[in-house]
Chains A and B, each alone.
Chain A
């Protein structure tokens, strides 16, 4: 059964392995240079006080490879679901070859277990290897700003791609089993996978761990905008901030009064049309405003990665269990 699974899966495995090898070569060639460039420009920019320029210059390095990496990481789990998962059983049902396979001296439970097990593990291994390479190569980029905690970066680093691959694969197999035709099963796999993964990233991930709520005196160096037209009305004071919490994923930041109200009242008199910006900010600084920041600190990266991966692996296992039940009871 292992031989048959390998024989049927050979072409896909070879294709995936060659793509991974190509990417590995590209990374091996450019990776050390990137790390060196980071160490000599961005890491030491504080001494020369030109960090924004250094960061900008660094971020435009290898921009083609960077966009390719984004694309590959975004597409890889979906491709695994579409090209490895969906045809796994649908192709047999479509060609009627399950009637050949299930009448050899191997129970269909074993047939399914070996196929699901081997191809599923291959999916996870491929995604894990890819993510390992990408996480290493992108290391210098991920040390800037929110870095790897940024929602779109988070799902392309560490171990969550393994969870995505397992889920996409099991989803593809299930769709193929229920729809019994390869191409519609591929389409359904893509649609459901994209919906689940984006819904999870937008709605669920931030709440996997209770976020940190930081309340403190307003840090004037984080203020990026002052004016009128705040939440209390057209003539109320507006102060917005961009908190600088390195490596954190910040979901909201608010400025409140000392009492905790979001309506800051009228602007101080020195913020009139004829006053200077520095006089105005100094006056705001004397108002004893507070800031409320809700965020996930960067130190929780791995905890969040483990939680998310575990959830996707559990989903994949549930789908695999459903496939086993369905193949034993319902399919002929």
Chain B
């Protein structure tokens, strides 16, 4: 399995704050990868490092076997749709396509014009007059028509209404199937990624919490419900991700490679959203503990 993106100890610091630290990651080819995490977790920093808009402060990153933005050829292999899908507001839709044609040697003019036509965009319209959804589609068209091997999208649907959001993701998935692309897609909403992604990376507090194929993650995480008991007394190989208690009942999110046979627990399947939330609540808890000690 070849990696489209490989990072070792990757970190990026802004003045004194680390936006991303000690990130070691290997993203396999041919997948639609969801990068999920709360706002400010470092998703944009990671993606900007991957397309070469940022230089790492620590560690290394390789995308498609080369340093990001190392050469025009490397740039040509990676498509990028930035957050808020920037376009030149004074330029028309047709101007944007000419821009793409002039700046990308591998430009596929047919794909671009077909997509614009299918989307019903007026080529003479200025990009500044487009709706958010149309602008996102234009930015996606630019990124797809340069025929990249890897497409990276930074919160492409965050500012779209639910309908535009569904249409955007749908047209993205069609293109992925057509062109056989690898995709990395970030979002702070799991629901956006649930239908689209088959690989998930959870990034919280500038660190990668877990990454893996969605099916594998769902198969190795379990939601346990049972009478109240101490979660520390679980058998070897069962790692508690999050725990919540009422007076009589304990609910655990547990990671375990093997099946769970303890009859005291009711084992149920976990959804992707609950899984991500479990990791988020874990880091929040880790932050709170020292604060309590200070108060004492």
A interface majority secondary structure: helix
Smallest beta-carbon distance A102→chain B, Å? 6
Q: B204 at interface (Cβ–Cβ under 8 A)?
A: no
Please pick, from A104, A105, A107, A332, the residue contacting B54 in the complex, using a CB distance under 8 A: A332
Contact B69 A97 (CB under 8 A): no
Given contacts A95-B86, A96-B86, contact A103 B75 (CB under 8 A): yes
Contact B53 A104 (CB under 8 A): no
Please pick, from A3, A101, A102, A105, the residue contacting B98 in the complex, using a CB distance under 8 A: A3
Task: Give Cα distance in the complex from A104 to B100, angstroms.
Answer: 7
Smallest beta-carbon distance B77→chain A, Å? 9
CB nearest to B53 among chain A residues: A332
Contact residues in B for A100 (Cβ distance below 8 Å)? 82, 86-88, 139, 142
Q: A53 at interface (Cβ–Cβ under 8 A)?
A: no
Task: Give Cα distance in the complex from A210 to B139, angstroms.
Answer: 61
Q: A108 at interface (Cβ–Cβ under 8 A)?
A: yes
Smallest beta-carbon distance A310→chain B, Å? 35
- Per-residue B-contact encoding for A95-117, CB less than 8 Å = 1, 0 else: 11101111111111010000000
Smallest beta-carbon distance B31→chain A, Å? 21
Contact A3 B102 (CB under 8 A): yes
Q: A46 at interface (Cβ–Cβ under 8 A)?
A: no
Given contacts A7-B91, A100-B139, A332-B48, contact A107 B75 (CB under 8 A): yes
Contact residues in B for A40 (Cβ distance below 8 Å)? none
Contact A97 B87 (CB under 8 A): yes
Contact A104 B103 (CB under 8 A): yes
Interface size class of A (residues with CB under 8 A): 20 to 34
Q: B89 at interface (Cβ–Cβ under 8 A)?
A: yes
CB nearest to A106 among chain B residues: B103
Please pick, from A7, A95, A103, the residue contacting B80 in the complex, using a CB distance under 8 A: A103
Contact residues in A for B146 (Cβ distance below 8 Å)? 104-105
Contact B88 A99 (CB under 8 A): no
Smallest beta-carbon distance A89→chain B, Å? 14
Task: Give Cα distance in the complex from A206 to B25, angstroms.
Answer: 64
- Per-residue A-contact encoding for B55-87, CB less than 8 Å = 1, 0 else: 100000000000001011101101110111011
CB nearest to B54 among chain A residues: A332
Contact residues in A for B102 (Cβ distance below 8 Å)? 1-4
Interface residues of B in 79-118 (CB under 8 A from A): 79-80, 82-84, 86-91, 95, 98-100, 102-106
Please pick, from A7, A106, A332, the residue contacting B75 in the complex, using a CB distance under 8 A: A106
Contact residues in B for A101 (Cβ distance below 8 Å)? 103
Contact B75 A4 (CB under 8 A): no
Q: A8 at interface (Cβ–Cβ under 8 A)?
A: yes
Contact residues in A for B52 (Cβ distance below 8 Å)? 102-103
Please pick, from B71, B82, B100, B105, the residue contacting A99 in the complex, using a CB distance under 8 A: B82
Contact B75 A105 (CB under 8 A): yes
Task: Give Cα distance in the complex from A299 to B84, angstroms.
Answer: 61
- For A101, A103, A104, A108, the residue with the greatest tally of chain B CB atoms inside 10 Å of its CB is A103
- For A1, A95, A332, the residue with the greatest tally of chain B CB atoms inside 10 Å of its CB is A332
Task: Give Cα distance in the complex from A108 to B86, angstroms.
Answer: 17
Contact residues in B for A104 (Cβ distance below 8 Å)? 75, 99-100, 103-104, 146
Contact residues in B for A332 (Cβ distance below 8 Å)? 48, 53-54
- For B69, B71, B103, the residue with the greatest tally of chain A CB atoms inside 10 Å of its CB is B103
Smallest beta-carbon distance B209→chain A, Å? 25
CB nearest to B146 among chain A residues: A105
Q: B51 at interface (Cβ–Cβ under 8 A)?
A: yes
CB nearest to B79 among chain A residues: A103
Contact A102 B69 (CB under 8 A): yes
Contact B98 A103 (CB under 8 A): no
CB nearest to B84 among chain A residues: A96
Task: Give Cα distance in the complex from A2 to B54, angstroms.
Answer: 25
Task: Give Cα distance in the complex from A110 to B82, angstroms.
Answer: 21
Q: Which 10 A-B pairs have the closest CB atoms?
A: A104-B103, A105-B76, A99-B82, A103-B80, A96-B86, A105-B104, A3-B102, A332-B54, A105-B75, A97-B86
Q: A95-B89, A104-B99 are in contact. List 19 more A-B contacts (CB 8 A).
A: A3-B102, A7-B91, A7-B95, A8-B90, A96-B86, A97-B88, A100-B86, A100-B87, A100-B88, A103-B82, A104-B75, A105-B73, A105-B104, A105-B146, A106-B75, A107-B69, A107-B75, A332-B48, A332-B54
A residues at B contact (CB < 8 Å): 1-4, 7-8, 95-97, 99-108, 110, 329, 332
